[in-house]
Structure 1
């Protein structure tokens, strides 16, 4: 075959191959995107069902428990994305609210003023030891939204990683108290709900619980800032102490099996 003919033949082969493979590629990518959207909708539906089930169970427990008592660690201002505020007000719960940041802490107390002395407020953080420790948060010069003021953590490389990379964090010393000391200080003998949102420290707090003496009926905590290893270990620990779980998009609700048969 003459050289020019060979060249034209080769060019035609490449053209057909590109067109064919490009067509196949578009089909495959379209199928992949469709599958991703389907899985996204499916996950959203599952998360919505999980959230509804959690709300149904906790509302039922609140209605049948006149002396309902809760502890909320990382309460922030009691308003922004707060998962339990409406129940606490509606059912006039008793409880302890823990928030280490002074600004949100003042807002928290004001927001619950109608419950009077039914609530106790602690301007501290929960830690493994009684000590002072730096708490990292978004620099107020860059905290332009309420969500940014809610980001405060012992771990600057987790929920605050983006701001840490941009050098937009500040730290302030906060007084810390171990969870058992908090219970002893207020003579707590039963917990109906333990609500935790500490931007990555949730598992450390759960490890402080005395499941033999004062096991919470319900534990609701945030998992999205835990590593996969921590998350798996946390669920194993709770399961070993008789809890089953409702996993939501960012949070987990763990229920005592004896009180809430799955």
Structure 2
């Protein structure tokens, strides 16, 4: 009797073992299928989440809502007396908005560039038009800001009509790109009149013809990005705004006043203008530049080498 029970028990164990293994296999398969379904369900959710983030980022880089745009376009009420502090304050105030800037003489985008620390950040939403005629510098500039889709670059110069003939002007450029100091790179007085007896220093430089434009209207109208033009046009239509771009940066080594005189105030009115005065004639060009800007309503802060001019509006004591 005992022997029969033992045999039956062994038989039951033998038959149960495959059943347990089969049941475990089915459970594992079901669990695996469940995980696959969950993964498949999560993919669209993640996609929608990423899509939402992307759209949000695009909205931040499109025309802002009226209340945000109006807040951004409010004139500055105060400005620090130090040029460096004033420049930082102004640029930081506009860095998270879709502010527009034009930079004449952009160099390589880093060297001696006061804009670089503020416009080349992850949170920066500036829209730029950068101008640089010299190939070595321009190539570095274009690569540096290649990830800014709304920016535009002009590989040429903004000069007076007497210098720009048939769309070109003579430039002194170094014979060995990338070598020498900034002086031998042709950064100082590198533009000259065609009939001038003063040419390039033959030891370091040779003459090259580079593209040019003769007005800000031509420069911005033909070379700015569509987004830049959209913002500038939108701002110029606001009745409470005197300006249509946020910032104009000029650094052309002694020709800054010549560029300032090329502004057509009927079509271009920057909220702020930053330029170098250190290479200007102290008796003529420097005081003339200052007087011209003050007559246009700008408040000036002068540093050792540069000037920052901004439209400042002081609130009335009776203003609510």
Provide TM-score, normalisation by structure 1: 0.69
- Taking a change above 3 Å as real, the CA distance of residues 260 and 92 of structure 1, as seen in their structure-2 partners, is farther
C-alpha distance in 1, partners of 2:111/2:105? 12
* Displacement of 1:140: 3.0
Aligned to 2:300: 245
Shift of 1:171: 2.5
Q: Distance in 1 between matches of 2:188 and 2:293?
A: 25
Q: Is the 8 A contact 2:297 2:311 kept in 1?
A: yes
- RMSD over equivalenced CA pairs, Å: 3.0
Q: Residues 183-214 of structure 1, C-alpha deviation per residue, up to 9 Å, x if partnerless?
A: 22234542111111111111111111122332
Distance 1:260 1:72 in 2: 30
Which residue of 56, 60, 84 corresponds with 1:51? 84
State the 1:146 CA deviation: 5.5
Matched, 1:127 2:159: yes
Match of 1:180 among 200, 217, 239: 217
Q: Deviations over 1:51-102 (max 9, x none)?
A: 1232123322434xx1101111111110112110121122131110110011
SS of the residue corresponding to residue 217 of structure 1 reads strand
**Structure 2 match to 1:201:** 255
- Looking at structure 2, the residues matched to 250 and 87 of structure 1 have their Cα atoms a distance apart, in angstroms, of 20
Residues 254, 50 of structure 1: CA spacing in aligned structure 2 closer, same or farther, 3 A cutoff? same
Per-residue CA deviation, residues 220-239 of structure 1 (Å, 9 max, x unaligned), is: 11111111110110111111
Greater CA radius of gyration, 1 or 2? Answer: 2
Q: Which string of whole-angstrom CA distances, capped at 9 and with x for unpartnered residues, describes residues 20-65 of structure 1?
A: xxxxxxxxxxxxxxxxxxxxxxxxxxxx9431232123322434xx
Any unmatched runs of 5+ in structure 1?
1-47, 157-162
Structure 1 residue 81 corresponds to structure 2 residue 112: yes
Check conservation: 2:130, 2:154, Cα contact below 8 A: yes
1:148: Cα distance to partner?
A: 4.6
The count of aligned residue pairs is: 206
What is the correspondence of 1:222-261 to structure 2 with a 5 Å cutoff? 222-228=276-282, 229-258=284-313
Q: Quick one: structure 1 residues 61 and 225, their matched pair in 2 at CA, closer, same or farther if it must change by over 3 Å?
A: same
Mark the runs of 5 or more structure 2 residues left unpaired by the alignment. Answer: 1-80, 193-198, 234-243
* 2:129 counterpart of 1:96: yes
Describe the superposition over 1:107-135 as per-residue Cα deviations: whole angstroms up to 9, x where unpaired. Answer: 101111232x1210110100123531112
- The 3-state SS of whatever aligns with 2:147 is helix
CA contact (8 A) 1:154 1:201 kept: no
Query: 1-side partners of 2:177 and 2:137: how far apart?
Result: 16
Distance 1:128 1:108, change over 3 A: same
Q: TM-score, normalised by structure 2?
A: 0.57
CA contact under 8 A between 1:69 and 1:94: conserved in structure 2?
yes
Q: Secondary structure at the match of 1:118?
A: coil
1:111-122 alignment to 2 at 5 Å? 111-115=144-148, 117-122=149-154
Match of residue 269 from structure 2: 215
Which residue of structure 2 lines up, in the alignment, with residue 45 of structure 1?
none
Does 2:180 align with 1:144? yes
